[in-house]
Amino acid sequence: MNLNKLKSKRIKVMEYSALSELLRVTAKPEIISMAGGLPAPEAFPFKIISALNNLVLKKHRSVSLQYGPTNGVLVLRGEIAKWLEERKMKVTSENIGITSGSQGGLDTLGKIFINEGDKIAVESPTYIGAIDAFTSYGPIYEEIKTDYDGVIPESLEKILKNKKVKFVYLVPTFQNPTGRTITWGRRKKIAKIIKKYHVLLVEDDPYNSLRYRGKPIDPIQTLVPENTIYLCTFSKVLAPGLRIGFYAAPKKLADLMVVAKQSVDLHTSSYGQYLAAEYLKTGDLKRHLPNILKIYRFRQEAMFEALEKYLPSGFFWTRPEGGMFVWVTGPKNFDSVKLYWQAIKNNIAYVPGTYFFTKQGEGKNTMRLNFTNVNEEQIDTAVKRLAKVIKNSL
């Protein structure tokens, strides 16, 4: 059997990932990795999950182990609708659907909307997992220009005015990879543009709860609910291993998501969904979240301090009020891809920024640093080593 001859065009596009090659080495125990986007194991609520396990089996019994509805179990959808009220979103369980991580939602959206050659607009840079999910459906990317306040509305308008775009994909709060948050003023402008051009907005918001300072900013969904599908997840506030994500969308779009999901996995784990539902219903999320925020706030501060202390002049970084990442930009001649193997030799890792751009060769002088899965001492050591490697290369 010649597997290569049997392969679809789609899998050939998906197969090669230069980034996976790079990241494979970060698993070595001697490496301090600021590369991944993982929550801290210390942030997992083991005791709570153990208690919820018993509760779910006692209260929901065999239903929690049985096949369930494709759009997700009603009790969880209802609890999520209540939770989203805190973000000023007016949705009911009818608008909510459960996906296998928000990654599952991204892939489903690609399946529904993208024919080969269709245009979609994304921030530059943007979340690599979204690029991977969408790319398998063969879109053409239109890159929206950004600055420290996130998406530049005029750049979005220029694209929508001149190109027929299927949807706009944004991570407005504590963006992956930059950590940046789109200001309220810009959110209002973006919402107006979305309405004016009758386009769909995909608002991906996994980091909303991870705010360490400052005041929350309402999602863009609150300004254009009829044009928005809002994606979120339990990965950052409970455990990513459970793979429970969700969306809030206008009813007709929510129904389409169900059609597309059905053939993929029938539904997301019933058991995991009941666990997540009880995590919200019992108030455990509210009680546990401060523990997570405390761990990450200290780590983020340690990251800022270390960057200030060690990085040479000519290097700048974002100072987000939450999330999991800091985005570092070096001088024009700095090449973070070339430097990567030097960093690995010194037992540290990061993600070269170029992988978060849809056009090749962009962002060579940038890198993404994660601060949630490394402790304060490791952060100091890793940034010190990184600075040494950088100084030797300049």
Ligand X SMILES: Cc1ncc(COP(=O)(O)O)c(C=O)c1O
Taking the least distance from each CB to ligand X, the nearer of 110 and 330 is 110
User: In degrees rounded to 5, what are phi and psi of residue 325?
Assistant: -130, 150
Near ligand X by CB under 6 A: residue from 95, 178, 233, 300: 233
Using the contact rule CB under 6 A, the part of the chain among 97-105, 307-315, 332-340, 353-361 near ligand X is: 97-105
Least CB distance from residue 240 to ligand X, whole Å? 5
246 binds ligand X (CB under 6 A): no
Taking the least distance from each CB to ligand X, the nearer of 127 and 310 is 127
240 binds ligand X (CB under 6 A): yes
229 binds ligand X (CB under 6 A): no
Using the contact rule CB under 6 A, the part of the chain among 19-27, 96-104, 300-308, 361-369 near ligand X is: 96-104
Taking the least distance from each CB to ligand X, the nearer of 103 and 155 is 103
Instruction: Name the residue whose CB lies closest to ligand X.
Output: 101
DSSP three-state, residue 321: coil
Least CB distance from residue 110 to ligand X, whole Å? 13
Residues 299 to 318: which contact ligand X by CB under 6 A? none
Give the contacts of 5 (CB within 8 A, at least 6 positions apart).
none
Whether omega before 177 lies within 30 degrees of 0, making that bond cis, reads yes
CA distance 21 to 243: 24
33 binds ligand X (CB under 6 A): no
Least CB distance from residue 245 to ligand X, whole Å? 4
How many residues make contact with ligand X (CB under 6 A)?
14
- How many Cα atoms are found within 13 Å in the side-chain-facing hemisphere of 237? 26
Closest listed residue to residue 208, CA positions, set 170, 173, 239, 243: 173
Near ligand X by CB under 6 A: residue from 22, 37, 357, 371: 37
103 binds ligand X (CB under 6 A): yes
Burial of 361 (0-12, 13-18, 19+ CB in 10 A): exposed
204 binds ligand X (CB under 6 A): yes
The pair of structure tokens assigned to 323 is 């999330």
Residues 114 to 153: which contact ligand X by CB under 6 A? 127, 129
CA distance 132 to 130: 5
322 binds ligand X (CB under 6 A): no
- How many Cα atoms are found within 13 Å in the side-chain-facing hemisphere of 3? 3
245 binds ligand X (CB under 6 A): yes
Near ligand X by CB under 6 A: residue from 179, 206, 322, 352: 206
- Cα 201-37-221 angle, rounded to 5 deg: 20
Least CB distance from residue 60 to ligand X, whole Å? 23
User: In degrees rounded to 5, what are phi and psi of residue 202?
Assistant: -100, 110
Helix 284-310 × helix 270-281 angle, to 10°: 90
CA distance 176 to 123: 10
Taking the least distance from each CB to ligand X, the nearer of 98 and 311 is 98
Closest listed residue to residue 89, CA positions, set 247, 283, 280: 247
43 binds ligand X (CB under 6 A): no
Pairing of strands 32-33, 96-100: unpaired
Given the rule CB under 6 A, which residues bind ligand X? 37, 101-103, 127, 129, 171, 176, 204, 206, 233, 235, 240, 245
